[in-house]
Amino acid sequence: MDEQTRRERLGYNIRMKRKGAGLTMRGFAQMAGTSHTYLWQVENGTVSIGFDMLCKFADALGVEVRDLIDF
């Protein structure tokens, strides 16, 4: 699996968890301490995400990091 595919799958997983929790992009970004623009980029696989931000996303969603990277 190439890097782009991994970014896209991670973004998809984050988006599905966010939507499943009933969170808007703007609201979730605020909970995670980032901008909705950055979150959009992550969810669309256009940027790489650092480990610390991945942990913040998982914490805000109430899931384990492994739940987001299970691909």
Domain boundaries, the chain: 3-68
Alpha helix ranges (H) inside 2-43: 3-20, 25-32, 36-43
Angle between helices 51-61 and 25-32 in degrees, nearest 10: 120
pTM: 0.94
CATH of domain 3-68: 1.10.260.40
Per-10-residue mean pLDDT, the chain, length 71: 96 98 97 97 97 97 96 82
- Cβ neighbours for 37, distance < 8 A, ≥ 6 positions apart: none
Give the Cα-Cα-Cα angle 68, 69, 71 (nearest 5 degrees): 120
pLDDT value of position 3: 96
User: Rounded to an integer, what distance in angstroms lies between the CA atom of residue 35 and that of residue 1?
Assistant: 28
